[in-house]
């Protein structure tokens, strides 16, 4: 399906002015752009300290690591310089969209209300840096061919390091005994800090593999998908390995019918069913019994007690919440008595293992509603727009699959706007990817075809 105005839309390759070409040769500019994109994605996924294990219910977040702070600040400065010198002014101006401005306003207001403004601002700074890096990944490549190179090279690198870790450094790449999470012993986590991070992130790499296969890199795509999906199975996450094929199926239905609304409708149905099954298990005995019979654990590894507590705290600050990233690791929770009745001691929980409840708890009904709309609903609208632009369909399908998959995972994990969390980075990548794919053509027209609306080659 071809969008009628696609030829009049600006080409994402029309990023440079003649004065820049005079200063730097186009091949060198392309090389620099590719290098920054590959380095940015590799940094986000591999991090500066791979193979550092954490317990999701026993350890405090390690984002205070000086190496991470200094390293990511430097990476943020390099990404900003790359965007200002190499990215299209049109691409940069597109960030000033109503939805992204609303998101910035909500987060800014929440930071001003935070009990510890400086600590909250530090967390927000890491989030902004991470988003800047992921935007660099999709904004700098000179079209879809270069973006494929970025995704393929980093995906294979992450998989190679993770598999090498399992084979050569199992004490680092495989969960051992943990007093808080003994049930995870023997499960793979690769270079990531926890299997609950490894599963979703490597599932996204599997989605990259599908895209690479569909785009012509069949061998690389097949290897990437098979290796990634097998790794996901070894993480032991039934929901992750189940949600991945469901998300792929949903987007495939939209592709086969040629109608994005089919995929969106199927996603809403699947999401509603999963929402009822998960949250419903915490409050309804019949739903709990159903979840237990289907999954073997109606508590979702103890999450239901967290959700009950989370919901009980929302009414206390209903409209504006407790502040950005200012609930679970503060005295609001840590100062409570030990909950002997709960499956997990939520005084030492890193997050509530539910994106949507945490969004409302941190930012209130108003702010949380805006965040959910911008991060999970607006991308689906952009997906429908992107599929109407000639040449953008496969990219749109890939990014939409990531959004749908992570929307479902958000029912069991929290990662929205979460500093430099690689799961959030993958969602941020998909959000920005759909944002650009809905506004620009990623594939240039053949040389000599002419250009309308300023769609000229770099």
CA-to-CA dists, residue 385 to 140, 397, 440, angstroms: 21, 12, 10
Q: Residue 323 has what pLDDT?
A: 80
Q: Identify whether 450 is part of a domain.
A: no
Q: Identify whether 321 is part of a domain.
A: yes
User: Mind listing the pLDDT tens digit for each residue in 288-302?
Assistant: 888 888 877 778 877
Q: Identify whether 444 is part of a domain.
A: no
Report how far residue 364's alpha carbon sits from residue 323's, in angstroms, rounded to the nearest whole number.
Answer: 8
CB 55 within 8 A of CB 180: yes
Q: Identify whether 443 is part of a domain.
A: no
Among 107, 105, 136, 142, which Cα is nearest to 124's?
A: 107
Q: Identify whether 452 is part of a domain.
A: no
Can you give the pTM of this predicted structure?
0.88
How many structural domains is the chain composed of? Answer: 1
Report how far residue 374's alpha carbon sits from residue 368's, in angstroms, rounded to the nearest whole number.
Answer: 10
CB 224 within 8 A of CB 159: yes
Q: Identify whether 74 is part of a domain.
A: yes
Q: How confident is the model at residue 238 (pLDDT cuts 50, 70, 90)?
A: confident
Alpha-carbon dihedral angle through residues 14, 18, 23, 27, given to the nearest 10 degrees = 40
The C-alpha R_g of the chain, in whole angstroms, comes to 22
Q: Is pLDDT of 454 > 60?
A: no
- The DSSP bridge partners found for residue 441 are 11
Q: Is pLDDT of 383 > 50?
A: yes
Reported as half-sphere exposure (CB side, CA atoms, 13 A), residue 27 has a value of 0
Write out the residue range of the structural domain in which residue 354 sits: 6-437
Q: Identify whether 408 is part of a domain.
A: yes
% of the chain with per-residue pLDDT over 90: 52
Q: Identify whether 355 is part of a domain.
A: yes
Q: How far is CA 25 from the centre of its chain?
A: 34
Instruction: Work out the average pLDDT over 214-236.
Output: 96
Q: Is pLDDT of 41 > 60?
A: yes
Q: How confident is the model at residue 177 (pLDDT cuts 50, 70, 90)?
A: low
Instruction: Work out the average pLDDT over 108-120.
Output: 79
User: Mind listing the pLDDT tens digit for each residue in 135-165?
Assistant: 999 999 988 999 999 999 999 999 999 999 9
Q: Residue 64 has what pLDDT?
A: 58
Q: Residue 14 has what pLDDT?
A: 45
């Amino acid at each position: 399906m071809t969008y009628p105005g696609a030829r009049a839309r600006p080409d994402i390759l029309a990023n440079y002015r003649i004065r820049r070409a005079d200063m730097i040769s186009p091949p060198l500019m392309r090389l620099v752009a590719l290098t920054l994109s590959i380095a940015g994605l590799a940094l986000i996924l591999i991090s500066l300290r791979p193979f550092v294990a954490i317990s999701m219910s026993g350890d405090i977040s390690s984002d205070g690591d000086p190496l991470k702070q200094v390293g990511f600040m430097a990476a943020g400065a390099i990404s900003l310089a790359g965007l200002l010198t190499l990215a299209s002014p049109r691409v940069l101006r597109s960030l000033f969209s109503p939805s992204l401005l609303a998101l910035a306003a909500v987060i800014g207001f929440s930071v001003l209300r935070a009990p510890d403004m400086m600590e909250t601002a530090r967390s927000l700074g890491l989030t902004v840096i991470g988003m800047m890096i992921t935007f660099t990944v999709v904004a700098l490549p000179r079209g879809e061919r270069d973006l494929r190179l970025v995704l393929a090279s980093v995906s294979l690198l992450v998989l190679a390091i993770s598999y090498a870790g399992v084979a050569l450094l199992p004490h680092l790449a495989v969960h051992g005994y943990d007093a808080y999470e003994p049930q995870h012993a023997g499960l793979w986590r690769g270079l990531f800090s926890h299997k609950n991070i490894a599963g979703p992130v490597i599932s996204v790499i599997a989605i990259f593999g599908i895209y690479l296969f569909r785009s012509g890199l069949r061998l690389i795509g097949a290897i990437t998908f098979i290796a990634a999906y097998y790794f996901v199975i070894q993480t032991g996450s039934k929901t992750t390995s189940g949600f991945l094929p469901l998300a792929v199926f949903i987007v495939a239905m939209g592709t086969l019918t040629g109608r994005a609304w089919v995929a969106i409708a199927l996603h809403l149905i699947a999401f509603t069913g999963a929402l009822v099954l998960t949250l419903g298990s915490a409050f309804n005995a019949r739903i709990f019994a159903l979840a237990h019979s289907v999954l073997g654990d109606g508590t979702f590894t103890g999450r239901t007690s967290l959700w009950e507590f989370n919901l009980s705290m929302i009414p206390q600050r209903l409209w504006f919440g407790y502040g950005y990233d200012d609930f679970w690791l503060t005295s609001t929770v840590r100062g409570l008595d030990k909950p002997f009745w709960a499956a997990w001691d939520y005084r030492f929980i890193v997050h509530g293992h539910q994106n949507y409840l945490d969004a409302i708890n941190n930012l209130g009904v108003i702010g949380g509603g805006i965040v959910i709309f911008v991060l999970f609903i607006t991308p689906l609208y952009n997906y429908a727009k992107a599929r109407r632009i000639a040449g953008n369909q496969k990219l749109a399908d890939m990014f939409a699959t990531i959004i749908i998959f992570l929307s479902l995972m958000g029912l069991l994990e929290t990662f929205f706007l979460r500093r430099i969390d690689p799961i959030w980075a993958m969602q941020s990548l998909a959000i920005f990817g759909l944002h650009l794919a809905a506004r620009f053509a990623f594939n240039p027209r053949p040389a000599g075809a002419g250009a309308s609306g300023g769609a000229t080659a770099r």
